[in-house]
């Protein structure tokens, strides 16, 4: 290392050169006078000085002076005796040895001092540049050392405070003594919080660590105090604490489960959701609390998070068959340590729904693809974005070609506006479900379709389904033609029957007339019997033709109701009276309970209704049976019941007895010459009045015929 030549060095060089020269001159002088013993001691002066100043380099000077001594001795003493030569050589060697030994010792000494100096400088620098205030106070409490950092927060300079009592820094005078006492007793003081007063006499909160200073004999000589202004730190801590409290409040109010664990897996916080689910386990290890394990879980992300990573991951618990969404992030604590904050949410329902949604989508895709109707998805612009195979078949285009085509391109020009209006209305959720129109396919052929359009919920799209009804349309028109023909035929039939019934009636009148004339003539018993048979047959034929005509009139819709207001009891009495002789013959009793109710109806048809039902009751009952007629006035209508204790009707026939020509095949029906038309006339007449008729019956016990008719038409 090259040092710059200082004044001191120059002075040393001069002294050394001067001393060496003086020695050489003296040696020369004494040697010339023959003295060789004393003067050589002078040589040690420059050698010692060189050893002290230039360390081992003094050897060069010793060599030079030794050489000069040998040369001068040889020069002046010639021939030189052997003992003097030896002595001279010894002396020169001694010069070199002394120079080396002195240089060596001096070098060592200097190195030690240098180190000491370096250490002292280093310590001074540390003290000076320390961010912490370092103050040395002696046993009397007098400040002995004061660094720059102490200036900064106390406002005093070293000159102002060194030599003064440290008591000036404390508001509480006893505090200075208390600190001294603790340090003296314990030998040290660590992170002691106290308040000192700065130069402006303003309190400053500091954290102080102190140690006892002892002299080399171990006697205490003072204390060294390292302190720091912790006002800001305290404020920061307070702030962090507030923020932590706020965070805890937020975490408490969250619907998700939240917990905080330390690096050592200790639960530091659990929010309400978790406490409700697992109980309060703050202080226990998380793997025990949440997973009932003795060791940390293999999937645990504690290490990664503690390294500063925030993670979001999903975890499926096979034990509970639940899936959780976890967010984990490191959390700095006030004391500088790190904890892990975990927020987890049970997403099992969402996951299940996702699977169900996927399945549902797949199901709908299959339905869409395999549907037997043509389906397509319409965009808001009216363009087709998706079509199924059936649509492709209907249109004659490939599915790829269909995508992007305008839906209106498939509608025949005359139908376009109507269908477009329907489409717009359906988009708004209105209009009927279906709209038939003419569909134009690729070849320009017209197909009749029935379209249904429905908006897709949550989307601006619609789904259109088209049912090809071309065949149906053709069948429908065929059917309509057939129907028209049949109606024509029916009218012709009814007209023919009407004429036929009337024509059949014409010869009947002379038959009955001549038969009554014949009654007055003298006839044999056989002749009278034949006449009776003719009259009976004519009566049956007349009855039959009358009923046929009644039904023909109803069918021809020619029946008008001749409405009149009359007491119902009057009609019931009239009809029962007319049947009394027949009933008497069979020893049957007819009773009627009718309230005094007036109804507005066709009197003739009401008579026909009662007549048919009472005549049936008499007809289909054996001797001694009871026939009970009852009428209930129900306010707006009347409910009539005609009950008999006759043969009854089997259940499987009950529903059909009101059909035309339907008869239950019994001996009584065969005997009575029934036609199976009476109940159908009753049904039609009740219907004409806006009423209904039905029957209940039990074979062998009797039947009940009910009808309801409104009191006013
Ligand atoms: P008809 O009496 O002229 O045969 P209806 O239409 O009046 O024709 O009756 C149809 C059938 O209903 C009858 O053939 C009979 O078998 C059955 N029937 C009607 N009324 C009664 C009744 N009160 N008791 C038993 N059977 C009855």
Q: What is the pLDDT of residues 57-116, one digit of tens each?
A: 899 999 998 888 888 888 877 777 888 888 888 888 988 998 999 899 888 888 877 776
What is the atom index within ligand 1 of the atom nearest the CA of 681? 6
Any atom of ligand 1 within 6 Å of the Cβ of 645 = no
Structure tokens, 55: 């360390």
Of 666, 617, 660, nearest to 642 by C-alpha is 617
82-129 and 44-54 are packed helices; what angle lies between their axes, rounded to 10 degrees?
30
Share of the chain above pLDDT 70, in %: 96
Any atom of ligand 1 within 6 Å of the Cβ of 106 = no
Which helix (H) or strand (E) element contains residue 434?
Answer: strand 434-440
Q: Is the dihedral of CA 669, 671, 677, 679 positive or negative?
A: negative
Of 379, 528, 392, 389, nearest to 459 by C-alpha is 379
What is the structure's pLDDT at 521? 87
The answer on pLDDT for 318 being more than 70 is yes
What is the structure's pLDDT at 35? 67
What is the atom index within ligand 1 of the atom nearest the CA of 680? 6
Q: Ligand 1 centre from 661 Cα, in Å? A: 10
This prediction has a pTM of: 0.41
Provide the pLDDT confidence category of residue 4 given band limits of 50, 70 and 90. very low
The answer on pLDDT for 620 being more than 80 is yes
Do 617 and 642 contact (CB within 8 A), yes or no?
yes
From 674, 677, 700, the mutation candidate for ligand 1 (largest count of ligand atoms within 8 A of CB) is 674
Provide the pLDDT confidence category of residue 299 given band limits of 50, 70 and 90. confident
Average pLDDT, the chain: 88
- How far does Cα 584 stand from its chain's mean position? 87
Q: Ligand 1 centre from 663 Cα, in Å? A: 6
Mean pLDDT (whole number) for 689-705: 96
Of 652, 659, 665, 663, nearest to 697 by C-alpha is 652
Do 535 and 512 contact (CB within 8 A), yes or no?
yes
Cβ contacts of 221 within 8 Å, gap of 6 or more: 138, 139, 213, 214, 215
Do 709 and 599 contact (CB within 8 A), yes or no?
yes
Q: How far apart are CA 166 and CA 151, in angstroms?
A: 14
Q: Ligand 1 centre from 637 Cα, in Å? A: 26
The answer on pLDDT for 334 being more than 80 is no
The answer on pLDDT for 558 being more than 70 is no
For ligand 1, atom 21, which residue shows the shortest CA distance? 616
Mean pLDDT (whole number) for 473-502: 87
Provide the b/e sequence for 572-600 (b: ≥16 CB within 10 Å): beebbeebeeebeeeebebebebeeeebe
Any atom of ligand 1 within 6 Å of the Cβ of 62 = no
The answer on pLDDT for 282 being more than 50 is yes
What is the structure's pLDDT at 618? 95
β-strand partners of 453: 464
Q: How far apart are CA 563 and CA 710, in angstroms?
A: 12
Q: 158: burial class by Cβ within 10 Å (0-12, 13-18, 19+)?
A: middle
Provide the pLDDT confidence category of residue 642 given band limits of 50, 70 and 90. very high
Q: What is the DSSP letter of 406?
A: B
For ligand 1, atom 9, which residue shows the shortest CA distance? 676
What is the atom index within ligand 1 of the atom nearest the CA of 663? 14
What is the structure's pLDDT at 3? 46
Which helix (H) or strand (E) element contains residue 563?
Answer: strand 563-567
From 657, 673, 680, 696, the mutation candidate for ligand 1 (largest count of ligand atoms within 8 A of CB) is 657
The answer on pLDDT for 409 being more than 50 is yes
pLDDT tens for 191-218 read: 899 999 999 999 989 999 999 988 878 8
pLDDT tens for 516-545 read: 888 888 889 999 999 998 988 888 888 888
β-strand partners of 374: 466
What is the structure's pLDDT at 2? 42
Q: Ligand 1 centre from 616 Cα, in Å? A: 6
Omega cis (within 30) before 79: yes
Any atom of ligand 1 within 6 Å of the Cβ of 617 = yes
What is the structure's pLDDT at 609? 96
Mean pLDDT (whole number) for 371-400: 93
For ligand 1, atom 8, which residue shows the shortest CA distance? 676
Q: How far apart are CA 545 and CA 540, in angstroms?
A: 9
Share of the chain above pLDDT 90, in %: 47
The answer on pLDDT for 453 being more than 70 is yes
Q: How far apart are CA 595 and CA 291, in angstroms?
A: 85
From 616, 618, 645, 686, the mutation candidate for ligand 1 (largest count of ligand atoms within 8 A of CB) is 616
Do 469 and 378 contact (CB within 8 A), yes or no?
no
What is the atom index within ligand 1 of the atom nearest the CA of 679? 6
Do 268 and 339 contact (CB within 8 A), yes or no?
yes
For the chain, helix (H) and strand (E) counts, in that order, are: 22, 22
Which helix (H) or strand (E) element contains residue 160?
Answer: helix 158-161
Q: How far apart are CA 435 and CA 423, in angstroms?
A: 9
Any atom of ligand 1 within 6 Å of the Cβ of 382 = no
Q: How far apart are CA 586 and CA 623, in angstroms?
A: 5
Provide the pLDDT confidence category of residue 504 given band limits of 50, 70 and 90. confident
C-alpha triplet 617, 621, 624: angle, nearest 5°: 115
Any atom of ligand 1 within 6 Å of the Cβ of 602 = no
For ligand 1, atom 14, which residue shows the shortest CA distance? 663
Any atom of ligand 1 within 6 Å of the Cβ of 664 = yes
Mean pLDDT (whole number) for 228-249: 85
Of 119-123, 153-157, 553-557, the range with the highest mean pLDDT is: 153-157
Q: How far apart are CA 43 and CA 99, in angstroms?
A: 11
């Amino acid at each position: 290392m090259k040092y710059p030549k200082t004044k001191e060095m120059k002075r040393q060089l001069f002294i050394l050169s001067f001393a060496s020269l003086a020695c050489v001159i003296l040696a020369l002088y004494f040697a010339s006078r023959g003295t060789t013993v004393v003067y050589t001691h002078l040589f040690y002066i420059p050698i010692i000085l060189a050893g002290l100043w230039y360390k081992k380099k003094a050897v060069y000077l010793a060599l030079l002076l030794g050489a000069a001594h040998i040369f001068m001795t040889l020069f002046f003493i010639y021939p030189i005796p052997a003992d003097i030569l030896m002595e001279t050589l010894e002396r020169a060697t001694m010069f070199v040895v002394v120079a080396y030994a002195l240089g060596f010792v001096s070098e060592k000494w200097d190195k030690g001092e240098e180190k000491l100096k370096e250490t002292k400088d280093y310590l001074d620098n540390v003290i000076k540049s320390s961010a912490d205030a370092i103050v040395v106070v002696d046993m009397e409490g007098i400040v002995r050392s004061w660094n720059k950092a102490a200036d900064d927060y106390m406002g005093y300079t070293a000159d102002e405070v060194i030599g003064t009592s440290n008591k000036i820094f404390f508001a509480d005078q006893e505090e200075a003594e208390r600190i001294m006492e603790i340090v003296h007793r314990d030998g040290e003081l660590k992170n002691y919080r106290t308040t000192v007063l700065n130069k402006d006499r303003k309190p400053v909160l500091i954290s102080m660590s102190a140690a006892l200073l002892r002299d080399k004999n171990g006697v205490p000589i003072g204390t060294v105090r390292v302190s720091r202004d912790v006002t800001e730190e305290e404020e920061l801590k307070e702030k962090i604490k507030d923020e932590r409290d706020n965070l805890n409040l937020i975490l408490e109010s969250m619907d998700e489960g939240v917990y905080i664990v330390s690096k050592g897996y200790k639960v530091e916080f659990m929010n309400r959701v978790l406490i409700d689910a697992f109980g309060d386990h703050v202080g226990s290890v998380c793997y025990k609390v949440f997973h009932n394990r003795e060791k940390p879980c293999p999937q645990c992300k504690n290490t990664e998070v503690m390294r500063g990573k925030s993670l979001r991951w999903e975890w499926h618990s096979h034990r509970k068959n639940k899936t959780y969404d976890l967010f984990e992030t490191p959390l700095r604590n006030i004391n500088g340590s790190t904890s892990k904050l975990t927020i987890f949410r049970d997403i099992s329902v969402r996951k299940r729904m996702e699977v169900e949604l996927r399945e549902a989508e797949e199901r709908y895709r299959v339905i869409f693809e395999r549907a037997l109707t043509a389906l397509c998805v319409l965009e808001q612009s009216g363009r087709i974005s998706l079509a199924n195979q059936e649509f492709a078949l209907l249109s004659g285009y490939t599915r790829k070609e269909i995508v992007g085509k305008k839906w209106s391109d498939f509608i025949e020009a005359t139908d376009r506006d109507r269908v477009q209006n329907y489409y717009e209305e359906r988009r708004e959720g209105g209009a009927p479900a279906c709209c038939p129109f003419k569909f134009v396919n690729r070849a320009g052929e017209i197909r009749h379709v029935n379209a249904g359009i429905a908006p897709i919920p949550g989307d601006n799209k619609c789904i259109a389904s088209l049912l090809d009804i071309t065949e149906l349309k053709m069948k429908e028109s065929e059917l309509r033609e057939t129907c028209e023909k049949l109606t024509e035929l029916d009218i012709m039939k009814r007209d023919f029957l009407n004429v036929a019934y009337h024509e059949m009636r014409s010869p009947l009148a002379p038959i009955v007339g001549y038969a009554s004339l014949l009654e007055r003539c003298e006839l044999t018993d056989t002749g009278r019997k034949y006449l009776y048979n003719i009259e009976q047959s004519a009566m049956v034929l007349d009855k039959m033709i009358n009923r046929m005509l009644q039904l023909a009139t109803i069918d021809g819709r020619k029946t008008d109701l001749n409405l009149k207001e009359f007491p119902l009891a009057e009609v019931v009495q009239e009809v029962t009276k007319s049947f009394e002789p027949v009933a008497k013959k069979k020893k049957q009793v007819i009773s009627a309970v009718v309230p005094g109710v007036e109804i507005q109806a066709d009197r003739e048809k009401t008579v026909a209704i009662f007549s048919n039902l009472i005549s049936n009751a008499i007809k289909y009952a054996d001797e001694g049976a009871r026939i009970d007629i009852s009428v209930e006035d129900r306010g707006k209508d009347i409910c009539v019941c005609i009950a008999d204790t006759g043969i009854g009707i089997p259940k499987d026939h009950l529903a059909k007895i009101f059909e035309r020509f339907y008869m239950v095949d019994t001996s009584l029906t065969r005997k009575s010459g029934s036609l199976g038309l009476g109940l159908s006339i009753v049904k039609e007449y009740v219907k004409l009045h806006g009423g209904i008729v039905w029957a209940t019956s039990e074979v062998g016990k009797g039947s009940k015929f009910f009808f309801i008719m409104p009191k006013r038409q």
